[in-house]
Amino acid sequence: MSASSEPTQPEPKDSTTEHGGGRATDDAQDVEALLRADNIVAGYVPEVNILNGCDLRLAEGELVGIIGPNGAGKSTLLKSLFGLIPVREGTVRLRGEEITGLQAHTLVSMGIGYVPQNNNVFPRLTVEENLQMGLYLRPKQFGERMEVVAGLFPRLGDRRKQRAGSMSGGERQMLAMGRALMMDPSVLLLDEPSAGLSPVLQDEVFIRCRQINTAGVSIVMVEQNARRCLQICHRGYVLDQGRNAYTGGGDDLLNDPKVIQLYLGTLAQTG
C-alpha cells in the first residue's frame, strides 16, 4: 500500500453505512480475512481467563472497532492479537498463516503495527528519534517513510527536534501512531487512541484514523468513545465479559438498544 500524503476526503456518510452494513452481513460467509482470530482464550493470571472465546475478522481495507463496558476484555483481545500475552486457546491468522504466539517484533516485521494506550512514546527522545525507533528494522527507508508520516501528521514534520516528553497528550498520541506507521504496516492495532484527550483532540484522532485507513491501512481499534468509534468504523464488535456480545455495522450497533443496555446495565431498561 502507499499512503498518500494529502489529507484524504472522507467518504460521504451514507456510503459508509452501506459499506459497513454489507460487510456485517457477509461476515458469516467467511470472506478471506486479512487478520482473523478464532475462539481466543487468554488471561494474565494463571487459570483466570479474561477472554473466553473471542472471534474477530479484519478484511483488507477495513476499519473495525472493538467496544464494550469496562473489563470486557477489549485491550486484552488486542494484546493477544499482537503476541503480548499468551493465547491459551484459539488461533490468530494473518493472510491465512497462523501467527498465534509469535513475538511482537516478528509480527511487526510481518506488517502489524500496535499502538499501546499508555506510555507509547519515548519521552527522552525527540520526535524524529521516536520515529526512527519505529523503523529500526529498516533504517534505510527512513527518509521515504518520514515523508509519508509527516504527510498524515504535519505536526510531527514541523517538530522533528522536539522532545516527546515535552509534548501534550494529543501530540504524543499522534507521535505514537506515526511511529507505528513507519514500518508501513498492513494492519494497525490501536488501543484506545482517544483516551484522556479533550473532545476537539478526540476529533482529530478519529479523523486521522479514518485517513490512515483510507490510505490503505486496515485498522482494529479499541475505543471507550463507543459512539464516535462506531461512526467511523465499517464494522464493530461489542465485547462483554470476554465474549463477543454483538457484531454488526457501525451504525446498526450505534442504534441497537441492546448495546446501550449493555453499557448502562439495567438502568437503560426503564429508558
Partner 1 sequence: MPTDTWVDGVTPEPGVAKPDPILVVDGVTRRFGGLKAVDVEHVEFQRGAITALIGPNGAGKTTFFNLLTGFDRPDAGTWTFDGRRMAGMAAHKVARIGMVRTFQLTKALSRLTVMENMKLGATKQKGESFARALLPPLWRKQERDIEERALDLLARFKLDNKRDDFAGTLSGGQRKLLEMARALMVQPDIVMLDEPMAGVNPALTQSLLGHVKDLRTQGMSVLFVEHDMDVVRDISDWVVVMAEGKIISEGTPDHIGQDRKVIDAYLGASHDAPTTAEEERQQLAAAEAALDAESDEREQLQQ
Positions touching partner 1 (CB under 8 A) are 7, 9-10, 12-13, 69-70, 155, 166-171, 195-204, 206-207, 210, 223-229, 231-232, 254, 260, 263-271
Nearer to partner 1, 13 or 140 (CB): 13
Distance of closest approach, residue 173 Cβ to partner 1, in angstroms: 11
Nearer to partner 1, 106 or 198 (CB): 198
Distance of closest approach, residue 35 Cβ to partner 1, in angstroms: 24
Nearer to partner 1, 139 or 199 (CB): 199
Distance of closest approach, residue 241 Cβ to partner 1, in angstroms: 12
Nearer to partner 1, 60 or 204 (CB): 204
- The three-class DSSP label of residue 137 is coil
* Cell digits of residue 195: 483516551
How many angstroms separate the CA atoms of 229 and 227, rounded? 5
Distance of closest approach, residue 38 Cβ to partner 1, in angstroms: 29
Pairing of strands 63-67, 112-115: unpaired
How many angstroms separate the CA atoms of 161 and 9, rounded? 30
Relative orientation angle of helices 127-134 and 142-152, to the nearest 10 degrees: 120
Contacts of 108 (CB under 8 A, 6+ apart): 114, 137, 183, 185
Nearer to partner 1, 29 or 270 (CB): 270
How many angstroms separate the CA atoms of 166 and 144, rounded? 26
Contacts of 140 (CB under 8 A, 6+ apart): none
Q: Residues 235, 239, 241, CA angle at the centre, nearest 5°?
A: 175
Nearer to partner 1, 2 or 269 (CB): 269
Distance of closest approach, residue 263 Cβ to partner 1, in angstroms: 5
* Cell digits of residue 97: 498463516
Distance of closest approach, residue 49 Cβ to partner 1, in angstroms: 15
